[in-house]
Homo-oligomer: A and B are copies of this chain.
């Protein structure tokens, strides 16, 4: 019998949808995967641009998981002081095999006290924000620190999840999932990191974000 692989995905208002859907699309293909979407209360959360994602369980209904996925988004700003949520993250983390984040989700792991003294990453624009929580910011696509795995911004969750599948279930399954989701990326530009983007583009993005 395949043991259950409970995968708890945190949802909240002003989440970035791709932060959670990227890992979801990969991890639900793990043998024994049991996905749960968890928010403060049951019902739909909303991304900034209005897409609703449904939380089927409230925080107090999910006490343990083999894998925890904490996504990012503008909503994380309001949550770094949310004691009930941070308690929940700590409690579930105590039960996990792997605790993961995408984008600014790592700031929630940090606020929960899980990144003290660890290397971690987040969206390139927020890297320095990790220091507040005693973490050492690393500009890398995916950062492994014991059982804590943090990914860079938004789309990096897909790469993180594939690395995680390889670790949990072997490279063959990770490759099969990559082929299944036809993840043979071909972006029309090579502008996906601050080191690669044209300076004017980098400046425009920073200016719009007020950084």
A residues sitting closer than 8 Å to B (CB atoms) are: 16-18, 21-22, 24-25, 28, 33, 35, 37, 44, 48-54, 56, 103, 123-124, 141-142, 152-156, 158-159, 162-163, 166, 171-172, 174-176, 178-189, 191-194, 196-198, 200-202, 204-205, 208
Please tell me if the beta carbons of A188 and B172 are within 8 angstroms of each other in the complex: no
Residues of chain B lying within 8 A (CB to CB) of residue A163: 188
Residues of chain B lying within 8 A (CB to CB) of residue A174: 188-189, 191
Bound complex: CA A155 to CA B183 (Å): 5
Contact A182-B188, Cβ < 8 Å, known A53-B54, A175-B201, A201-B175: no
Contact A44-B54, Cβ < 8 Å, known A179-B201, A181-B155: yes
Please tell me if the beta carbons of B25 and A154 are within 8 angstroms of each other in the complex: yes
Residues of chain B lying within 8 A (CB to CB) of residue A37: 50-52
Tell me, rounded to whole Å, the shortest Cβ–Cβ distance linking A3 to chain B. Answer: 18
Q: Count the copies.
A: 2
The 8 sampled A-B contact pairs (Cβ below 8 Å) are: A33-B49, A37-B50, A44-B52, A54-B54, A103-B182, A153-B180, A154-B181, A176-B201
Residues of chain B lying within 8 A (CB to CB) of residue A50: 35, 37, 56
Contact A178-B187, Cβ < 8 Å, known A21-B17, A25-B16, A44-B54: yes
Please tell me if the beta carbons of B175 and A156 are within 8 angstroms of each other in the complex: no
Residue of B nearest to A27 (CB): B49
Please tell me if the beta carbons of A182 and B124 are within 8 angstroms of each other in the complex: yes
Please tell me if the beta carbons of A18 and B28 are within 8 angstroms of each other in the complex: no
Residues of chain B lying within 8 A (CB to CB) of residue A191: 174-176, 178-179
